[in-house]
Structure 1
Amino acid sequence: MASALLSTGLFVPSNNGGKTAGFRFRNSWSSFHGELLSKANLVKREISSNARGRLVIASVVVWQLTQRETVVPDPDYRIPIVLLGVAGGLAYTNNLLPAAPVGLLGLLLLFQTTRVRFVFDDEALEVKVGEELQESGENVFVGGKNRWKYSTFVNWELWWPNFPVLVYFKETQTKPDGQVHFFPVIFNGKQLYDVMVERAGPSKTSRPKQS
């Protein structure tokens, strides 16, 4: 449209005694009108671009709000220390036969407490090792990766409330009819319980109960 106006101005005669004032007026009007159209298009493009930017930002914010943080419960050395204490007491009373396996179990759990970590990410529980949280490889008992999605959990338990010793859960990821796992609680029991309730749903019989 601006091009049409500009072309028309070249052939419209002037009413001022044949002078070119009319041409200048129409040419100026055409340029002004074209500039308005150009600025309008620029504003529309900026609005459209800003709208798309707002949509992208909104999507990122929603995704970040729904993404749960990764939780790694702190290590807890109480169980290996108790086992080593019991082994020491048995050895002191010359009960060397039971002291040996109890002491070995205490040493094993002490070593595992320094390196094994439960990592609760947004969708699954995974067993990792080391300060760098490296993958632990395949499960030596049932095979497959030591990573289980919360959506496959059938049930879980934490024994006992004041001094948690074992955590149990059953999942259908490893096999459809369910696979049971037992782990010694070498982590902070309260942190472990809280994140299990949040990610896998409330336990049926474990303590502490939800208020």
Structure 2
Amino acid sequence: MASALLSTSRFHPLQNREVGGLVSNLRSSFYGKVIYNQNFVTMKTNSSHGGRAVVASVLGRRVQKKETVIPEPDYRIPVVLLGLSGGLAYTNNLLPAAPIGLLGLLLLFQTTRVRFVFDAEALEVKVGEQLQDSGENVFVGGENRWKYSTFVNWELWWPNFPILVYFKETQTKPEGQVHFFPVIFNGKQLYDVMVERAGPSKNSGPK
């Protein structure tokens, strides 16, 4: 821990002497970055009160921590799929109605429980109201948590009615791993936080 020590012996009775503007930067021998700034400002002496020193120091740069963002669930996709399935079944098109209806039911269930959690460092998939760990990724392995610094690219399809979100990261494997998720969250909130945490997308954006 950096510390500053100012010692004074005896000051001659001068009228309001000011000493200021000393700035000290200590650099880390490991990273070569400024890790400590110390500012000594305005030191005054007064003949009637003896020596008095006022020292103000600033340690490093205060960084504002990013808040955790959880986009709200959005039921539009499962509702559309279930409606389409019902329409197909009504017209006796049972063969396509069955898989579409099952997909709609699956997404409806997932919308009630799956959450994207954007913390200060990474995107993580959680489940349930208590935001429990979702475990290992069943398709590519590894935990369902990816640091923004490993994102290569991401897209939101389609902005007017977002259906899929895609991103590619190098955390799972160095050559890059692609992920696709149905947009069962508020598309605008999802887009805004992705831009803020992972950088802008080249081809997608809300209209």
TM-score normalized by structure 2?
A: 0.71
Q: Following TM superposition, by how much is the alpha carbon of 1:111 offset from its aligned partner in structure 2, in angstroms?
A: 0.1
Q: Tell me which amino acid in the other structure corresponds to 1:192.
A: L
1:28 matched to which residue of 2?
none
Q: Which runs of 5+ in 1 are unaligned?
A: 1-39
Once residues 204 and 160 of structure 2 are traced to their aligned partners in structure 1, the CA distance between those partners, rounded to angstroms, is 11
2:11 matched to which residue of 1?
none
2:194 matched to which residue of 1?
196
Once residues 126 and 161 of structure 1 are traced to their aligned partners in structure 2, the CA distance between those partners, rounded to angstroms, is 22
Q: Following TM superposition, by how much is the alpha carbon of 1:208 offset from its aligned partner in structure 2, in angstroms?
A: 2.9
Residue correspondence of structure 1 range 164-203 to structure 2 within 5 A:
164-203=162-201
1:126 matched to which residue of 2?
124
**RMSD, aligned CA:** 2.0
Write out per-residue CA displacement over residues 60-97 of structure 1, whole angstroms, 9 at most, x where no aligned residue: x924x2x1000000000000000000000000000111
1:62 matched to which residue of 2?
62
2:148 matched to which residue of 1?
150
Q: Tell me which amino acid in the other structure corresponds to 1:112.
A: Q
2:29 matched to which residue of 1?
none
Write out per-residue CA displacement over residues 15-37 of structure 1, whole angstroms, 9 at most, x where no aligned residue: xxxxxxxxxxxxxxxxxxxxxxx
1:32 matched to which residue of 2?
none
Which residue among 79, 85, 88 is the counterpart of 1:87?
85
Once residues 207 and 161 of structure 1 are traced to their aligned partners in structure 2, the CA distance between those partners, rounded to angstroms, is 6
Once residues 133 and 97 of structure 1 are traced to their aligned partners in structure 2, the CA distance between those partners, rounded to angstroms, is 37
TM-score normalized by structure 1?
A: 0.70
Q: Which has the larger radius of gyration?
A: 1
Write 1 or 2 for the structure with the bigger share of helix. 1
Q: Percent identity?
A: 82
Q: Following TM superposition, by how much is the alpha carbon of 1:207 offset from its aligned partner in structure 2, in angstroms?
A: 2.1
Write 1 or 2 for the structure with the bigger share of strand. 2
1:161 matched to which residue of 2?
159
Q: Which runs of 5+ in 2 are unaligned?
A: 1-49
Instruction: Provide the aligned length of Structure 1 versus Structure 2.
Output: 157
Once residues 93 and 158 of structure 1 are traced to their aligned partners in structure 2, the CA distance between those partners, rounded to angstroms, is 33
1:108 counterpart SS class? helix
Q: Following TM superposition, by how much is the alpha carbon of 1:206 offset from its aligned partner in structure 2, in angstroms?
A: 1.1
Once residues 99 and 187 of structure 2 are traced to their aligned partners in structure 1, the CA distance between those partners, rounded to angstroms, is 25
